[in-house]
Amino acid sequence: MTARNPYLPSPVRIEDIVIENELRDLKTFKLVFEREEDRSAFRYLPGQFGELSVFGAGESPFGIASAPCEEDYLLFTVKKTGTVTGELHNCEPGRTLGVRGPFGNGFPWERMEGRNILIVSGGFAFTTLRSSIVQMLHPDNRRRFGRLTVVYGARDPGEFLYKELLASWESDPEIDLTLTVDREPESAWKGRVGLVPNVVKELAPAAENALALVCGPPIMIRFTVPVLQELGFADDEIILSLENRMKCGIGKCGRCNIGAKYVCIHGPVFTYAELSDLPPEY
Amino acid sequence: MTADTNWQPKIVAFLCNWCSYAGADLAGVSRLQYPPNVRIIRVPCSGRINPLYILKALQDGADGVLVSGCHPGDCHYISGNLLARRRFALLKSLLTYVGIEPERVQFAWVSASEGGRFADLMTKISAEVAALGPAQKLVKEFRR
Amino acid sequence: MGKQKQQAKILDKAKLPDLIEALSARAVCLGPVRSADGPRWERLKPSSVLDLESVNTRLSPKAVFLPQREVLCTFRGDRLEDSPPESEAERTVLFGVRACDARALQCLDLVFGPGQSRFSDPYYLERRERALIITLACREPGRACFCTSVGGSPAGTEGADVAAVDLGAELLLTAVTDKGRDFLGEQEALLTAADQSHLESARNQAERARSLVGAVDLEKLTETLARDFDDPVWEELARPCLGCGVCAYLCPTCHCFDISDEVDSRGAGVRIRSWDCCQYPLFTRHASGHNPRVNRKQRLRQRIMHKYAYTVENSGVIFCVGCGRCILNCPAHLDIRVTLRALQTRGGRS
Amino acid sequence: MTMEAMETPEQRIRTLAVELLREGKIDMFVGLRRGVLPLTGTPCFIPASRGGAQEDLEQAVGQLVWGGYSAPNLAAYLVSFYEPDLRLKQQPEKPVLGLQVRSCELRSVYTLVREKQVPRDKLVLVGVPCRGMVDLRRLREKLDLERVTDAVEEPGALKLKLPGGEVVRLDREEFIEDACRECRRPSVPEESVDFLVDGPSRKEAAGVYDAVRAFEDRPVEERWRIFLEETSKCIRCYACRQACPTCYCRDCFAEQTDLHWIGASAELSDIQLFHLVRIFHQAGRCSSCGACARACPVGVDLRTFTQKIVKDVDEFFGSLPGFSLEEVSPLNVFREDDGEEFMSEP
């Protein structure tokens, strides 16, 4: 066997776990490769995903939340929903997990260069967008992109991911960040109140020479896309990331397809124009 | 396969909270001797036992399973044990039918005051299961 | 090259046990063996009673290369152990593979080879590399066969290393690949040269068999499938479907799988690849409960589209070889030929 | 003699279906039509609104057949028509179905109605006589069924045409499913259906549990060996479950992801647990129709094992699923004096 066996996970150690939200069902796992050769082989783009293993519970795909410029570790933010995620949430730092990847196409980095980037997100789908923003904000990369506008919504203030990072971005002139919550919170809140599509409409970012990266729950996407279209974004300038059920991550196991496209290899990132040509099975 | 001479049977006992668990407790505080190879799992009522619990115990390596609840008429929930009795009758008969030794899966009534009965029962079941040797059937085991 | 191609040999059927014995010394030799439930793929012994007459085996030989349950790796606690030992790294010879099933292996090669993504599947490919496929031409196709409608033929040699033709008392063996040529070379002692009359009766037999295969006109299928995703005909077609996995599990080209971890009663852990099926609701259900293919109509459509449209779009190949297993074994007696016909004639109205 | 009495059962079914559909009494008729393969039947769903043309309706109804065709239990299709779509806030009006039922299918229907999976008032039941269903497995053992070009069923014989044109005549009774041979209630009681089609039914069988008793009499290790052999064949395609009308759980325990009762693969102990629980869940439900065994593509002897639970429920609790709405599930009730010989004493 010359090529690497794509089914074999590389061992990673949990270095740190951050509880992200008040509901405590979102945790970010900071993972460090046990073997240097695995670390250096794991070269990824924002928007790609990895398969995380908890041995005994199984394996699940998650978007990579860390950025390629964060070279020493991987971050995955995981919501507790099923067997694998449940077991992940039971893990303590020090435990060994497995990682396979990176898989999928990632965001269209080459197309994004030289353009203004609008990022629209809701809930815990922000993970690969964190990766993108961190990568773009890196001093080596920042000038390769135009204006960076981010609209990020959550049900209430306690549900935002990466709160420290968000706080640092709020004072960063390189990024125009707008946070919004669905309804008036009980505690003090400096950000906006309103649903993401409405906030995008109000902010009305220019579509000229821009690309929009949109990740969020299906309902948010459904209402955000028409707003972007109205603002002048063409269908192939609206970029979405899908989350179909996946197993192998390498285009073999046959479950994540939408029409003839496999989310794990042709996606998970698709333009709205591409998705419009596919059956609505996602 | 298991040439282990020190082998002791693993027995899982599902005991109802109101009678049998208290009976086991009484056996304990009364310092009655019974074999230590019993893993007790407390359940609200023998009627709470899903047949899958029993099958899972066997699959995961129990050599014997006991389910015990209140005597007929004593159920805290009035008739949980009587409904359970029908299910157990069918399950035991089905398991025996497919070739599981009847001693592997047993049912008994033990009241809160019957510490002695519980200890005797466990002694008897433990001996019966020990005589059969380690469970081989329905056990999940990857031979490599 | 031209001369080598002529390398056709004759094996007296009485010498089959000798051939099996010779092969078994150096390879796992598998073939269709008679059983109460029809022929079954089994490891051959010289005493095995081969069934070369029945239409085909109930289960396809795909399981040799994509076992229903296969260990991908093992672990204990949170530590991955070494990959499973390649103890079975023996050569495999499959004797008596029907032409349809050999073509199906070529479909699977497309999936598990590097073609579809940049990843190859080492488990599958290694088994494939170790295997020699000896096909056996069909003399008398069955009622459910329709290989000729999907590009195959009863005596086709695609996917074969050696092609065998049953001439009654003798088998005509022709090498198709280099591997096949080597094989015939190794077994020379058991073989005699074929003459013109052997080749002629093989040809006649192939023609006759071909004429007996029922035909389904699929000319308009690709066109109608591309257009009719939302046609109400799908609802009608799915109604009698019971939603089981018989068609997919018996299909020689269906290859969808699941990966799951299992731990045994002693704490030994294995990561398992096992067959899965697009007809099961769980196949696509997200952890959140959302399911992109929530009903039987969508799932039946997926299976048909996958075989006759998506694979055609992605690799130019229909993933159906017309073996008829899904027809013969469907508990509701649905006939995929009827389904395909209905899609062509009724589809496209809306 | 009336006109009706002169109709064959098949004609009578067609007449009733046309009438019910035309008079708007049902939205769809569910029956059987011939399968493409000889002696098979496939479910046939005829909606009332077929464009309205009279000829269309008659042509569709003309496909309906009655006979020994090997076919699934039609009651297995009912639940999908009546289960709520959980994604919808308001459920659409459910259809009224006309259903062609033989006696075993009717017993399944009644179980489904009693267990509130199917509303009785949405069903128009057309009971049909039954002479037993052809056993394809047995035929396959006898001849090359996959190459048979045509088959005709007569009351006492099966006539099969072989590729060469030769016609083989077989004694029909020899090739009837065990489930039918052992059927003790082959006739549909008139009061349990809305329409009863007259015709010849089998005689009531005696000694229905003989096979189970014979198995019980085998030594324990032999029983296990057979159970092991049979379950080893299983490929976990779930055809037995899907073909069974009373295996209707929305989420089968075998596929529950929150609890993970059993593994997802074809591991032997998982397969055995699946079958044991599947059988156990049929206690008080199984109509002994044989659909599970018929559906199995690899010939697992499901009948020998599933009939055990039928026998035990019958003998322990005097309960056998029948044709009325008043019956109670034997596991939802108890008697003070239920047997407890199986229980342990110290």
Domain residue limits, chain D: 7-85+95-135+176-317, 136-175
- Lowest mean pLDDT across D54-58, D253-257, D259-263: D54-58
pLDDT at position D24, please? 93
Please tell me if residue A250 touches chain C, with a CB cutoff of 8 Å: yes
C71 CA to chain B: closest CA distance, Å?
A: 10
Please tell me if residue D257 touches chain A, with a CB cutoff of 8 Å: yes
Q: A102, exposed or middle or buried, with CB in 10 Å at 0-12, 13-18, 19+?
A: buried
Check contact B-A (3+ Cβ pairs < 8 Å): no
C84 CA to chain B: closest CA distance, Å?
A: 9
Interval C297-324: pLDDT, tens = 999 999 999 999 999 999 999 999 999 9
Q: How far apart are CA A214 and CA A149, in angstroms?
A: 12
Q: Report the residue of chain C nearest D35, measured CA to CA.
A: C333
Helix ranges (DSSP H) in B1-144: 20-29, 51-59, 80-97, 115-132
Task: Mark which residues 100-139 of B lie under 8 Å from D by CB.
Answer: 100-102, 106-109, 117, 120-121, 123-125, 137-139
Q: Report the residue of chain A nearest C309, measured CA to CA.
A: A260
In angstroms, the Cα distances linking B9 to B104, D244, D343 are 10, 39, 20
If pLDDT is split at 50, 70 and 90, which confidence band does C3 have?
very low
Per CB-CB distance under 8 Å, the chain C contacts of D242 are 242-244, 331
Per CB-CB distance under 8 Å, the chain C contacts of A259 are 305, 310
Nearest to D30 by CA among D15, D42, D39: D42
pLDDT at position A3, please? 62
Per CB-CB distance under 8 Å, the chain B contacts of C74 are 144
Q: Kindly determine whether residue B142 and residue C84, on different chains, have CB atoms separated by under 8 Å.
A: no
If pLDDT is split at 50, 70 and 90, which confidence band does C350 have?
very low
D171 CB-near residues (< 8 Å, 6+ apart)? D156, D157
DSSP for C278-328, written as a single string: TTSGGGT--TTS--SS-SHHHHHHHHHHIIIIIHHHHHS--S-----HHHH
pLDDT at position D5, please? 57
Q: What is the ipTM of this complex?
A: 0.93
Q: Report the residue of chain D nearest A82, measured CA to CA.
A: D258
- Chain C neighbors (3+ CB pairs < 8 Å): A, B, D
Nearest to C68 by CA among D235, D254, A251: D235
Percent of chain B residues past pLDDT 70, beyond the cut: 96
Q: Is the pLDDT of residue D131 over 80?
A: yes
Q: Is the pLDDT of residue D219 over 60?
A: yes
Q: Is the pLDDT of residue C230 over 90?
A: no
Per CB-CB distance under 8 Å, the chain A contacts of D258 are 82-83
If pLDDT is split at 50, 70 and 90, which confidence band does C86 have?
low
Q: How far apart are CA A53 and CA A87, in angstroms?
A: 10
If pLDDT is split at 50, 70 and 90, which confidence band does C40 have?
very high
CA-based angle B72:B73:B75, to the nearest 5? 85
Task: Mark which residues 71-110 of D lie under 8 Å from C by CB.
Answer: 71-72, 76-77, 80, 87
Q: Report the residue of chain C nearest A96, measured CA to CA.
A: C78
Q: What are phi and psi of D260, to 5 degrees?
A: 50, 60
- Chain A neighbors (3+ CB pairs < 8 Å): C, D
pLDDT at position C1, please? 41
Q: Is the pLDDT of residue D148 over 60?
A: yes
Helix ranges (DSSP H) in A76-212: 83-90, 109-112, 127-137, 163-170, 196-203
Please tell me if residue A253 touches chain C, with a CB cutoff of 8 Å: yes
Q: Is the pLDDT of residue C249 over 80?
A: yes
Q: Kindly determine whether residue C265 and residue B61, on different chains, have CB atoms separated by under 8 Å.
A: yes
Per CB-CB distance under 8 Å, the chain C contacts of D290 are none
Cα of first residue to Cα of last residue in chain B, in angstroms, is 13
**Taking all residues of chain D, what is their mean pLDDT, rounded to a whole number?**
94
What domains does chain A contain, in order, with CATH numbers? 10-103 (2.40.30.10), 109-241 (3.40.50.80)
Per CB-CB distance under 8 Å, the chain A contacts of C80 are 8-9, 11, 55, 98
Residue D343 in contact with residue B109, Cβ under 8 Å?
A: yes
pLDDT at position A85, please? 93
Nearest to D139 by CA among D118, D160, D120: D160
pLDDT at position D52, please? 58
Interval B54-101: pLDDT, tens = 999 999 999 999 999 999 999 999 999 999 999 999 999 999 999 999
Per CB-CB distance under 8 Å, the chain A contacts of C229 are 279
A176 CA to chain C: closest CA distance, Å?
A: 32
Question: Shortest CB distance from C249 goes to which of D71, D237, D291?
Answer: D237
Check contact D-B (3+ Cβ pairs < 8 Å): yes
Question: Shortest CB distance from C272 goes to which of D41, D76, D265?
Answer: D265
pLDDT at position A42, please? 95
Task: Mark which residues 226-285 of C lie under 8 Å from B by CB.
Answer: 262, 264-266, 268, 270
What domains does chain B contain, in order, with CATH numbers? 11-132 (3.40.50)
DSSP for D222-290, written as a single string: HHHHHHHHHHHH-----HHHHH-TT---SS-GGG-TTT--S-SS--HHHHHHHHHHHHHTTTTT-----
pLDDT at position D4, please? 52
Question: Shortest CB distance from C269 goes to which of A56, A248, A258?
Answer: A56
Query: pTM (2 decimals)?
Result: 0.94
Per CB-CB distance under 8 Å, the chain D contacts of B121 are 344-346
C316 CA to chain A: closest CA distance, Å?
A: 12
B94 CA to chain D: closest CA distance, Å?
A: 7
What is the average pLDDT across C40-53? Answer: 93
If pLDDT is split at 50, 70 and 90, which confidence band does C88 have?
low
D98 CB-near residues (< 8 Å, 6+ apart)? D16, D17, D20, D21, D25, D26, D28, D29, D30, D123, D124, D126
pLDDT at position B119, please? 96
Nearest to A49 by CA among A126, A88, A125, A106: A106
Check contact B-C (3+ Cβ pairs < 8 Å): yes
In angstroms, the Cα distances linking B143 to B140, C266, C270, D137 are 10, 11, 11, 34
Q: Kindly determine whether residue B61 and residue C268, on different chains, have CB atoms separated by under 8 Å.
A: no
Per CB-CB distance under 8 Å, the chain C contacts of B59 are 265
Chains C and D: how many Cβ contacts under 8 Å?
134
Q: Report the residue of chain A nearest C291, measured CA to CA.
A: A282
Helix pair B20-29, B115-132: axis angle to 10 deg = 100
Q: Which residue has the higher pLDDT, C286 or B114?
A: B114
Q: Kindly determine whether residue C286 and residue A244, on different chains, have CB atoms separated by under 8 Å.
A: yes
Q: Report the residue of chain D nearest A57, measured CA to CA.
A: D260
Interval D57-70: pLDDT, tens = 889 999 999 999 99
Q: Kindly determine whether residue A97 and residue C122, on different chains, have CB atoms separated by under 8 Å.
A: no
Residue that is written with structure tokens 């409608």 in the block: C149
If pLDDT is split at 50, 70 and 90, which confidence band does C224 have?
confident
Nearest to B75 by CA among B98, B107, B42, B46: B46
Please tell me if residue D258 touches chain A, with a CB cutoff of 8 Å: yes
Amino acid at D15: T
Within 13 Å, how many C-alpha atoms sit on residue A180's CB side?
21
| Ranges of chain A whose pLDDT falls below 50 | 1-2
Residue A84, SS3 per DSSP: helix
If pLDDT is split at 50, 70 and 90, which confidence band does C89 have?
low
Q: Kindly determine whether residue D238 and residue C55, on different chains, have CB atoms separated by under 8 Å.
A: no
Query: Hey, how many other C-beta atoms are within 10 angstroms of the C-beta on A154?
Result: 21
Chains B and D: how many Cβ contacts under 8 Å?
117
